[in-house]
């Protein structure tokens, strides 16, 4: 895929499916979009002469879909509640026979479950930090890992639940972090060995032979976010200009960059991602590459989300990116 090549497609009636933020100040709706993001996507699609109809995921959604007669859905909806919430909109769209952008419900379910993703990728020898899944109903079980460790809710995105005190250096600290997170999020916790080193994210767009892998973007920290540890937490993302810089392409040997891009493409294919995704890595102090997690429904907030940010570093403006996602979906479903 030539990423800046303009792909023509006929004007379409596009349904834009989303969850919008109604609260501020906490991470409860961290995965949801602001209305400014929804408007930015709408404008980008309308510049290609599409008619865009907005569909917030609410109690009237099914009735709205029945009468809408849309050609395709542009899906950024995160869903409401539960480990399978990101599958809600794709499953409903499948029920109505409406094609949509992005990965299907099965891929979204697997990818949202961090431990399940790790188990799947381990069968393909994708290297990931050692981890233990601590069940919410039995958080006192022993954790046979090397400290320090990082604690994350097992089925959340957008750094939701990754606090500024997510690192535990011993069993006592781990017990305290687990107690706080389980009480707040009411779900199993992923505990994994913290990888000292550099942090990267890789964006991908397209499918099959047209899959395009962007240059990795490095997240560099201006200061430690927790003692001597750097954590891309929810509060850091909210105040990224204060805490981090983004570097793309990173200062790495060409061979390491190519390996990272190859592993990212392999993860994309193994998990049957579609159209676009973002994959996070850590490179330890010895140069070993570790897969951290995959997001097949990455944020698209202009001038904020990592995916449009890394695309912009690579010379792809926001409107082009949005329409390239649409083109990727249309090619996949053989509409163009």
Closest by CA to 280, choosing from 168, 166, 126, is 126
Q: How far apart are CA 157 and CA 299, in angstroms?
A: 10
Sign for the pseudo-dihedral over CA of 143, 146, 148, 150:
negative
CA distance 194 to 71: 45
Sort 255 into a burial class: Cβ within 10 Å, 0-12 / 13-18 / 19+. Answer: exposed
Cα 309 to Cα 246: distance, rounded to the nearest angstrom:
9
Instruction: Give the CA diameter of the chain.
Output: 60
- State residue 116's pLDDT score: 96
Q: How many CA atoms lie within 13 A of 169 on its CB side?
A: 6
Instruction: Quote the distance between the C-alpha of residue 33 and its chain's center.
Output: 13
pLDDT confidence of residue 143? 73
Distance CA 90, CA 102 (A): 9
What local confidence, expressed as pLDDT, does residue 184 receive?
Answer: 84
Whole-angstrom distance, CA of residue 25 vs CA of residue 27? 7
Is domain 117-126+196-332 annotated with CATH 1.10.3720.10? no
The pTM assigned to this predicted structure is 0.91
- 73-114 tens-digit pLDDT: 999 999 987 888 999 999 999 999 999 999 999 999 999 999
Q: Supply the pLDDT for residue 225.
A: 62
Tens digit of each residue's pLDDT (9 = 90 or more) over 182-201: 888 888 999 999 999 999 99
CA distances (Å), origin 56, targets 18, 77, 175:
5, 8, 39
Q: Do domains 13-102 and 117-126+196-332 have the same CATH topology?
A: no
Residues of the chain whose pLDDT is less than 70?
A: 1-6, 23-30, 140-142, 157-165, 223-229, 234
- Which residue spans within the chain are E strands per DSSP? 13-18, 51-56, 72-75, 131-134, 149-153, 167-168, 189-193, 197-206, 212-213, 217-221, 244-247, 275-284, 289-295
Predicted pLDDT at 5? 59
Tally DSSP H helices, then E strands, for the chain: 11, 13
Q: Please give the Cα distance from 9 to 153 (Å, whole number).
A: 41
Query: Given this model, what pLDDT does residue 186 score?
Result: 86
Asked whether the beta carbons of 86 and 117 are under 8 A apart, the reply is: no
The residues facing 191 across adjacent strands are 132, 151
CATH of 131-193, one of 3.30.450, 3.40.50, 3.30.1490, 1.10.3470: 3.30.1490
Phi/psi region, residue 37 (left: phi>0; alpha: psi -120 to 50; beta: rest), is: alpha
| Domain layout of the chain by residue ranges | 13-102, 117-126+196-332, 131-193
Contact of 283 with 146, CB cutoff 8 Å: no
179 vs 297: CA distance, rounded Å: 29
The answer to whether residues 168 and 174 touch, using CB atoms and an 8 Å cutoff, is yes
Q: Does domain 13-102 have CATH number 3.40.50.20?
A: yes
Cα dihedral across residues 240, 116, 139, 171: positive or negative: negative
């Amino acid at each position: 895929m030539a990423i800046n090549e303009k792909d023509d497609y006929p004007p379409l009636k596009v349904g834009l499916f989303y969850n919008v933020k109604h609260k501020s100040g906490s991470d409860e709706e961290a995965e949801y979009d602001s209305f400014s993001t929804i408007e930015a996507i709408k404008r980008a699609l309308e510049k290609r002469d599409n008619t865009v109809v907005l569909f917030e995921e609410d109690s009237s959604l099914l009735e709205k879909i029945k009468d809408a007669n849309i050609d395709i859905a542009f899906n950024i909806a995160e869903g409401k509640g539960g480990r399978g919430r990101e599958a809600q909109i794709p499953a409903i769209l499948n029920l109505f026979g409406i094609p949509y952008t992005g990965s299907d419900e099965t891929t979204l379910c697997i990818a949202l479950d961090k431990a399940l993703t790790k188990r799947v990728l381990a069968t393909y020898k994708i290297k990931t930090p050692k981890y233990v899944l601590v069940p919410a109903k039995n958080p006192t079980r022993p954790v046979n890992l090397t400290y320090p460790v990082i604690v994350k809710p097992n089925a959340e995105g957008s750094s939701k639940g990754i606090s500024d005190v997510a690192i535990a250096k011993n069993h006592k600290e781990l017990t305290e972090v687990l107690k706080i997170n389980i009480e707040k999020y009411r779900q199993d916790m992923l505990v994994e060995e913290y990888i000292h080193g550099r942090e990267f994210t890789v964006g991908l767009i397209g499918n099959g032979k047209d899959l395009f892998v962007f240059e990795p973007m490095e997240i560099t920290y201006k200061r430690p976010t927790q003692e001597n540890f750097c954590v891309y937490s929810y509060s850091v993302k909210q105040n990224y200009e204060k805490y981090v810089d983004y570097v793309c392409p990173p200062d790495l040997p060409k061979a390491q960059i190519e390996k990272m891009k190859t592993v990212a493409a392999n993860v994309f294919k193994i998990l049957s991602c579609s159209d676009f995704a973002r994959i996070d890595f850590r490179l330890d102090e010895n140069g070993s590459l570790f897969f951290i997690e995959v997001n097949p429904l990455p944020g698209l907030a202009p001038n904020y989300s990592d995916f449009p940010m890394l695309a912009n570093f690579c010379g792809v403006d926001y409107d082009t990116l949005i329409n390239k996602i649409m083109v990727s979906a249309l090619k996949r479903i053989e509409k163009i």
